[in-house]
């Protein structure tokens, strides 16, 4: 015990941070090491963001600019397209948190210790190797009204189930979430597998010795120990879902009309298609605030709980 | 090797590396600042930026003829994404990092940027073209802002019906002479198991094609007034046009609205699609697929109302000279000679479409036949909807029309027109600010 105390004390001495003013040398070198990262984030992230906030107070078509105060924000809040865009982004967030994360966890747990596990995992991971554009092309081929899905349904005598999959809201958003699930589940699964393999075998054995098995073993022994990796997987999925752009752009361009637009698409359309830089900047600011608040709230809760 | 020698070698290497790094940075940084897209072309050539990389051989062919007459050819730059292209031109044209010439659009899209004074006045080029009979003077207005032209026509395309020769021949159909015959042909194609009219647009600008066509088919004057903000989208003529469109959908005369125009050459060849209303510039896709007049033909769509005059929608790309061009004088010379008959023959020979210069015809029979039809019927020329109103209004309304195509009912048609009118009121106010 005394030896342990001595070791703890030595560790504390070694890792205790220097007080300000106590020693300038370590403090200065710390700043030096921090500088490149801080400078990069500052120049490439913070400054452009501050400039975006500034631009959002102007009516700006790229040639002329006039101060309008909060008009862009008040217009946004009464704009049906923006409200639909927020709703779609909410659907993407719920869908992406529910499907790829949950499926990734279930597949990782289900295939972790079975003989055919590597083959199943390979099949799930394979779509993750495809780029977003290729995924969109593939699903476009399947989901067009004259596409493979409807042709298959017709061939099977299930014509009643044929749909214009990408032409009706909310069906178009739902099928695009499914397409994303097909691609993204592999990434979640890999992360959960890493988490599973980091669980000490002794804890599983101890659970088994105590009579736990099946779902009880998973719920009481495995799941709690997957918590750190779950925080990462859910955090990444949350941010990815809030900035969903590529697959929607490539499959429906946000349409028909603007029915399947997400906030990222609204921002892009306003800025780069309509050349309304001030209005687009206001959407960007709101999207950034939503992403920051959601990530900060989630990570704060989870890290505090840990 | 002594320690001193090692030390000297190290310092020398470092110095050499520093010098190499410095020289590299000096070479790279200005290049980054200027970008390969917007650097001046070497020699006597002028740079031309456009949004269609596949046009490069056509520009080069025209450039060779231009070089013989003006001493300047083209160095082609291209940005394939239209949105990115527009942003690059809008931003770079305000600086000295711009190409000498840019492809743009006519009508309100040209006015939108011309009023920011980024394009040069091309009055001299137009005067020269009109003197030489290279262009119809009536086109000048749609290339002008505040009474001065700021671009010249890049091409002159008409919206006409592409039809499948094999489908028409199999069902014994003839080119329609009036609207009733056109509808009868579509019905015959439908009854013969052929998709009568391919019509995409649920996720693209193409949703405007049938809207503009039905409006000019009913009353070209109303279309002109509507696109100029002098008439309402909820007026009777617009309601009637939408009702006809709905009726055609109810008769199952259209393909699903997510049909891609890129599929058409193949489907025409197999005879599974009968017709497609599109800009004649799409002929190039058919020609590239190895098709000729035995596979497809082109005809002007007859007016919908028996009392309406012949009318056709036209689309003209625009060629502009930037105010900050590196070689502005050379670019002005090139713009002045662009509509020269020999230059245009080289250009449309590649493009397989028509030129604003009526003497330059492409070696593609369906397009030559179309030119003859235009000459014989002298239709009222209507500017394509894309360029006929302020850009933000058009972009928003095209999305409304795309949504309508996904749900083509009368109730949706009325809601669509109402929303289009609301947007028109707001956007005309902004445009006139």
pLDDT tens figures, A73-89: 999 999 999 999 999 99
Residues B185 and B251: beta-carbon distance below 8 Å: no
What pLDDT was estimated at residue A13? 46
In a domain, A13, yes or no: no
What pLDDT was estimated at residue A4? 44
Which residues in chain A are contacts of B402 at CB distance < 8 A?
Answer: 255-257
Q: Is the pLDDT of residue B30 over 70?
A: no
In a domain, A136, yes or no: yes
| DSSP per-residue codes, B250-265 | HTT-B--TT--GGGHH
Q: Complex ipTM above 0.85?
A: no
Instruction: Give residue A30's pLDDT band: very low, low, confident or very high (50, 70, 90).
Output: confident
Domains in chain B: ranges and CATH: 46-156+316-358 (3.40.190.10), 158-314+382-431 (3.40.190.10)
Instruction: Give residue A3's pLDDT band: very low, low, confident or very high (50, 70, 90).
Output: very low
Instruction: Give residue B32's pLDDT band: very low, low, confident or very high (50, 70, 90).
Output: very low
Check residues B18 and B321 and name the one with the higher pLDDT: B321
Instruction: Give residue B25's pLDDT band: very low, low, confident or very high (50, 70, 90).
Output: low
pLDDT tens per residue, range B71-87: 999 999 999 888 889 99
Which residues in chain A are contacts of B258 at CB distance < 8 A?
Answer: 144-146, 164, 166-167
In a domain, A119, yes or no: yes
Q: What is the percent of chain B where pLDDT is above 90? A: 84
Which residues in chain A are contacts of B204 at CB distance < 8 A?
Answer: 253
Total domains in the fold of chain A:
1
Q: Is the pLDDT of residue A6 over 60?
A: no
pLDDT tens per residue, range A119-135: 988 899 999 989 888 99
Q: Is the pLDDT of residue A292 over 50?
A: yes
Picking from B89, B399, B432 by the largest number of A CB atoms within 10 A of its own CB, the best residue to mutate is B399
- The answer to whether the Cβ–Cβ distance between B83 and A259 falls below 8 Å is no
pLDDT tens per residue, range A134-150: 999 999 999 999 899 99
In a domain, A176, yes or no: yes
- Report the CATH number that the domain containing residue A181 is assigned in CATH: 1.10.3720.10
Strand partners of residue B195: B273
Q: Is the pLDDT of residue B324 over 90?
A: yes
Instruction: Give residue B99's pLDDT band: very low, low, confident or very high (50, 70, 90).
Output: very high
Mean pLDDT of A51-70: 94
Distance CA B282, CA B290 (A): 13
Distance CA A186, CA B239 (A): 51
In a domain, A24, yes or no: no
Which residues in chain A are contacts of B405 at CB distance < 8 A?
Answer: 256
Give A46 to chain B, closest Cα distance, Å.
Answer: 22
- B353: tokens are 């479409």
What pLDDT was estimated at residue A113? 79
- A201: domain range? 71-78+90-305
Tokens 């002479």 found at: B177
Instruction: From B365, B405, B399, B384, select the one nearest B159 (Cα to Cα).
Output: B384
- The answer to whether the Cβ–Cβ distance between B113 and A63 falls below 8 Å is yes
pLDDT tens per residue, range B112-171: 999 999 999 999 999 999 999 999 999 999 999 999 999 999 999 999 999 999 999 999
A170 in reach of chain B (CB within 8 A): no
In a domain, A27, yes or no: no
Residues B161 and B276: beta-carbon distance below 8 Å: yes
What pLDDT was estimated at residue B43? 83
Distance CA B199, CA B102 (A): 31
Q: Is the pLDDT of residue B298 over 50?
A: yes
Q: Is the pLDDT of residue A182 over 70?
A: yes
Across the A/B interface, how many CB contacts are shorter than 8 Å?
76
Which residues in chain B are contacts of A63 at CB distance < 8 A?
Answer: 90, 94, 113, 115-116, 118
User: Mean pLDDT across chain A, nearest whole number?
Assistant: 88
In a domain, A19, yes or no: no
What pLDDT was estimated at residue A114? 83
């Amino acid at each position: 015990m005394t030896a342990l105390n001595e070791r703890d004390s030595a560790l504390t001495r070694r890792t205790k941070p220097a007080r300000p003013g106590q020693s300038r040398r370590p403090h200065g070198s710390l700043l030096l090491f921090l500088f490149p990262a801080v400078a990069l984030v500052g120049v490439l992230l913070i400054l452009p963001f501050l400039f975006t906030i500034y631009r959002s107070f102007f009516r700006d078509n790229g040639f002329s600019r006039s101060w309008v105060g909060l008009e862009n924000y008040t217009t946004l809040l009464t704009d049906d397209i923006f409200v639909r865009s927020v709703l779609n982004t909410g659907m993407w967030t719920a869908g992406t948190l529910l499907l790829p994360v949950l499926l990734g966890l279930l597949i990782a747990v289900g295939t972790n210790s079975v003989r055919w596990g590597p083959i199943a995992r390979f099949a799930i991971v394979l779509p993750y190797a495809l780029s977003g554009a290729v995924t969109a092309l593939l699903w476009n081929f399947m989901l067009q009204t004259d596409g493979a899905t409807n042709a298959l349904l017709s061939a099977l005598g299930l014509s009643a189930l044929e749909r214009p999959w990408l032409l009706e809201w909310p069906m178009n958003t739902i099928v695009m979430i499914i397409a994303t699930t097909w691609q993204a589940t592999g990434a979640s699964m890999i992360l959960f597998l890493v988490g599973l393999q980091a669980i000490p075998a002794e804890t599983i054995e101890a659970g088994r010795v105590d009579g736990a098995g099946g779902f009880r073993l998973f719920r009481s022994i495995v799941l709690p120990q997957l918590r750190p990796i779950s925080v990462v997987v859910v955090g990444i999925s949350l941010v990815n879902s809030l900035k969903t752009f590529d697959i929607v752009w490539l499959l429906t361009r946000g349409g028909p009309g603007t029915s399947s637009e997400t906030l990222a698409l609204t921002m892009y359309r306003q800025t780069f298609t309509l050349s309304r830089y001030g209005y687009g900047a206001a959407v960007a600011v709101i999207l950034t605030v939503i992403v920051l608040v959601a990530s900060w709230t989630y990570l704060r809760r989870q890290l505090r709980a840990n | 090797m002594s320690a001193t020698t090692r030390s000297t070698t190290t310092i020398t290497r470092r110095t050499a590396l520093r010098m190499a790094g410095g020289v590299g940075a000096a070479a790279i940084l200005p290049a980054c600042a200027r970008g390969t897209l917007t650097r001046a072309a070497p020699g006597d050539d002028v740079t031309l930026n456009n949004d269609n990389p596949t046009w490069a051989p056509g520009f080069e062919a025209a450039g060779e003829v231009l070089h013989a007459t003006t001493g300047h050819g083209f160095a082609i730059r291209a940005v394939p994404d239209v949105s990115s292209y527009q942003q690059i031109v809008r931003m770079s044209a305000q600086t000295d990092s711009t190409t000498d010439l840019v492809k743009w659009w006519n009508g309100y899209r040209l006015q939108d940027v011309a009023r920011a004074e980024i394009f040069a006045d091309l009055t001299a080029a137009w005067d020269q073209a009109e003197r030489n009979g290279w262009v119809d003077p009536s086109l000048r207005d749609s290339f002008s802002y505040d009474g001065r032209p700021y671009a010249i026509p890049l091409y002159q395309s008409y919206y006409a019906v592409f039809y499948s020769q094999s489908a028409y021949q199999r069902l014994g159909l003839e080119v329609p002479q009036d609207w009733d015959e056109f509808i009868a042909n579509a019905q015959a194609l439908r009854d013969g198991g052929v998709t009568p009219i391919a019509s995409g647009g649920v996720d693209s600008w193409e949703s405007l094609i049938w809207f503009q066509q039905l409006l000019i088919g009913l009353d070209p004057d109303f279309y002109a007034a509507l696109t100029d903000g002098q008439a309402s989208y909820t007026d009777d003529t617009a309601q009637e046009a939408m009702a006809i469109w709905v009726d055609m959908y109810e008769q199952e005369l259209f393909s699903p609205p997510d049909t891609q125009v890129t599929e058409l050459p193949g489907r025409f060849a197999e005879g599974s699609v009968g017709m497609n209303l599109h800009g004649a510039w799409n002929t190039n896709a058919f020609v590239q697929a190895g098709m000729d007049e035995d596979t497809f033909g082109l005809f002007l769509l007859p007016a919908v109302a028996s009392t309406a005059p012949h009318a056709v929608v036209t689309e003209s790309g625009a060629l502009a000279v930037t105010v900050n061009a590196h070689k502005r004088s050379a670019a002005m010379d090139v713009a002045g000679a662009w509509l020269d008959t020999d230059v245009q023959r080289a250009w449309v020979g590649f493009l397989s479409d028509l030129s604003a210069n009526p003497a330059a015809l492409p070696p593609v029979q369906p397009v030559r036949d179309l030119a003859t039809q235009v000459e014989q019927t002298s239709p009222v020329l209507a500017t394509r909807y894309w360029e006929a109103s302020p850009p933000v209004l058009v972009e928003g309304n095209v999305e409304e029309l795309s949504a309508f195509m996904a749900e083509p009912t009368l109730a949706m048609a009325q809601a669509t027109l109402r929303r289009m009118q609301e947007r028109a009121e707001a956007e005309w106010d902004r445009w006139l600010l």
